[in-house]
Chains A and B, each alone.
Chain A
């Protein structure tokens, strides 16, 4: 099985027994999410249980490309199971993270890990190649995520990592074990707790940290010294160099990469003021890092949203100057293991309530946080500790701020005014508002979580950035949508799918864009595990004609590693199948189209957008002409959104009255067993 280790590790924490699943049993799903969904389907008989129920199964999956030289596809690990963060139903959900875990798991001889049951006492799992031990974790329980990893590293090596570490006389490595762990937030069953790996890689959404806590699982450590078979080694090396040279960043001519996702001119994905001195840092196998390690050690490996968590408060407190508080607050998120979106949106929310005079010391919502210290390290630490240890009203925060608002009897009002920016499924809005960038919002509400899939998001950043700088975005919108449309197989050559004008956002064209996005991400990004930061790439300024690597790159790498003949379209079709399987799980959990709705503010409050986002541009047609149009000032029309849902369900072959899958559609995808189960539960769509 080229690209595969050949077996999946199954661990029942209740009796601490391990067994194996033959990867071939699930090979038709390829890897990652597809395999995870199929295993979850088979092992969790009652899909309506809570995420905290011991019978909930957590899958931690790799892909055939994990641990290989495929650029931006070697290091993601896909985590799935019933989550605990969303509301009103704890959806079956997913989250993935980078770093070293997936490659190390493959080198150890495993394509994935399936966690079942609940240990009676805290445990950690020690994987050294084939050898797997469930060990007592009393000495680790209570440690933060960084200390836990360092402690495990010490325990595994026995003497540091400056020379070869020998597990026996034959097996040697210079690498530290890859450890995935929870911090205090997870131990205390926070619904907003993450799994953390190395300094800054997190499986953040879904509350898997709290789920591990409920299972008394502190950490999984894996060190692998084996190899992965490659079908065509020469072809892989050739493809890697082809991609790097043609599409990658050229350090000698950075300006040529002025636009690219695969090979960006500015690869670092951090939003705080940079350190004086740092290195660019990458996940295993990546051709272009997005993280950094710094000369102070603060902020190591953190990226994206968590780097914005405290910056504004810090600067505001310190006369516009950023201090180390910004970095340290982010490190605290990582150490306690707390979801950065919940922490940042939650802090904004309680700040608003405090200003309204109902939150604070001695107020109706009593809280001892001293807001005069907001911006100082002390405040950040107190706030995050309240969540991690459920101190005082932090007991409510740990439930997620949506549930907190509900408990405080504020939910309805605060979703109406929008001071609680939780737009879908009781989850914090990402920053790309559903009223503006509709594909993001639609994908989230039709799925299980804030999608956090940036496939089309560059259509906001790129033109808007140019406009903010007083420039005219190049190339023009008409040319850009044409290049992208060519790659949107099987709906190719329909640029109207990329028309974000208000007249078009409820159309069949937009439904196709959302469907394409669901299918592409379910397969290529969440099953094959191409990284969201580097894939897909539609546009590349280095290439004559601007056409990026997407379309050709994904299957080329897949084929040289696995030896299969798998086209881009094959992947899209398998993505559709996986998406249908997921929707069947949600249906069994209780989903109906009547509950598929955004929060109130999305339907009546015009989207303003703060800061630069007040100039939110996307491609669209105005009076028949393509341009980068401004989409601020609009809200979604609830009736038209209902019509959109009908179009989307029809396009997917689902029952438009319920949103439930139809037998015909499921059987055409080879999912007869799913149709049978839905029918048994009286949840099969009509028609």
Chain B
């Protein structure tokens, strides 16, 4: 089923109310977990530009850390992968989680259609799951690469900016249009440390 994109097979699922092979997203977030300083500014910015409030539980990117653990195992970053084969899209019974063809094929939640069944949240195979739950609105949320960030003056999406990328003080998050390796984590983990990082006295390898 489906056509190959980037060496990955796709399934037949709902796209913009029509059955078609699902096109790959035109944008992805990559992170450098060794560069991240654990300030959670990306989470605060994400919640701020999307919801107009500061709420870590509503951030579409999550940073998990343990104060007592050894570097680099003390921290990990969980960002939405904009999967080439997105189980969250497949799982949505209302087609509320869909591929937005007008916005670079970003996997996105149509809040008006979302019935709050949490199927997408359960379907995300990663830990922690990348689809979120808004307990006040009883709706699912997920990363839209800031294509719909009503509390930000900048244009978002695959042709614009992403709040987490812009706000990260250490530039540990990167936007790319290239499809990352889908197997495992390695495609979404990159080394963004350069000469400046070396000058700070930290390893760049």
Contact = CB atoms under 8 A, between A and B. Distances in A.
Given A282-B38, A297-B69, A268 B201 contact: yes
B44 A285 contact: yes
Given A171-B57, A228-B54, A176 B66 contact: yes
Nearest to A252: B196
A127 interface: no
A123 B171 CA distance: 43
Interface string B76-106: 0010000000000000000000000000000
B56 A69 contact: no
A110 interface: no
13 contacts: A71-B169, A163-B127, A174-B128, A225-B57, A228-B55, A229-B53, A230-B54, A268-B200, A278-B202, A280-B200, A285-B40, A286-B39, A297-B71
A241 interface: yes
A249 B169 contact: yes
Contacts of A250: 196
Contacts of B169: 71, 244, 248-249, 286-288
Nearest to B59: A174
B51 A227 contact: yes
Given A163-B128, A251-B171, A278-B202, A301 B71 contact: no
A254 B196 contact: yes
A279 B199 contact: no
A294 B127 CA distance: 25
B162 interface: no
Given A164-B128, A252-B196, A282-B38, 11 more contacts: A67-B54, A146-B68, A170-B133, A227-B53, A227-B55, A234-B152, A234-B153, A238-B153, A279-B37, A293-B69, A293-B71
Contacts of A172: 57, 132-133
B64 A161 contact: yes
A250 B201 CA distance: 15
A175 interface: yes
B52 A241 contact: no
B52 A233 contact: yes
Contact of A282 (B39, B57, B132): B39
Nearest to B50: A233
Determine the interface band of chain B, counting residues with CB < 8 A from chain A. Answer: 35 or more
A110 to B, nearest CB: 15
Interface string B111-148: 00000000000000001110011010000000000000
B55 A226 contact: yes
Nearest to A253: B196
Choose among B45, B56, B166 the residue with the greatest number of A CB atoms under 10 Å from its CB. B56
B194 A251 contact: yes
B71 A278 contact: yes
Interface of B: 34-41, 44-45, 47-49, 51-58, 62-72, 74-75, 78, 127-129, 132-133, 135, 151-153, 163, 166-167, 169-171, 194, 196-197, 199-203
B151 A234 contact: yes
A624 B163 CA distance: 52
Interface in A269-298: 274, 276-289, 292-297
Contacts of A260: none
Nearest first, the 7 closest Cβ-Cβ pairs linking A and B are A227-B55, A251-B196, A233-B151, A282-B39, A170-B135, A227-B53, A198-B67
A237 interface: yes
A297 B153 contact: no
A268 B166 CA distance: 23
Nearest to A298: B70
B128 A237 contact: no
Contacts of A229: 52-53
Contacts of B196: 250-254
Interface string A45-72: 0000000000000000000000111010
Given A69-B48, A234-B151, A277 B37 contact: no
A281 B37 contact: yes
Contacts of A287: 39, 41, 169
B152 A289 contact: no
A173 B63 CA distance: 11
A199 interface: yes
A225 B134 CA distance: 10
A68 B197 contact: no
A176 B57 CA distance: 12
B88 to A, nearest CB: 15
A276 B68 CA distance: 18
B167 A240 contact: yes
Contact of A285 (B39, B63, B133): B39
B185 to A, nearest CB: 13
A162 interface: yes
B5 to A, nearest CB: 29
Contacts of B40: 284-285
A241 B35 contact: no
Choose among B39, B41, B47, B135 the residue with the greatest number of A CB atoms under 10 Å from its CB. B39
A236 B163 CA distance: 12
Nearest to A200: B67
A198 B67 CA distance: 6
A163 to B, nearest CB: 4
A107 interface: yes
Given A173-B56, A266-B200, A163 B129 contact: yes
Nearest to B51: A227
A643 interface: no
B131 to A, nearest CB: 10
B127 A162 contact: yes
B44 to A, nearest CB: 5
Contacts of B55: 107, 225-228
Contact of A227 (B54, B66, B68, B72): B54
A300 interface: yes
B166 A241 contact: yes
A162 B39 contact: no
A226 B51 CA distance: 12
B129 A164 contact: yes
B74 A279 contact: yes
B66 A237 contact: no
Given A163-B128, A251-B171, A296 B64 contact: no
Choose among A227, A241, A249 the residue with the greatest number of B CB atoms under 10 Å from its CB. A227
A453 interface: no
B33 to A, nearest CB: 9
Nearest to B33: A279
B38 A173 contact: no
Contact of A281 (B38, B194, B199): B38
Nearest to B35: A279
B27 to A, nearest CB: 20
Contacts of A67: 44, 54
B92 to A, nearest CB: 19
B13 to A, nearest CB: 25
A244 B39 CA distance: 14
A150 interface: yes
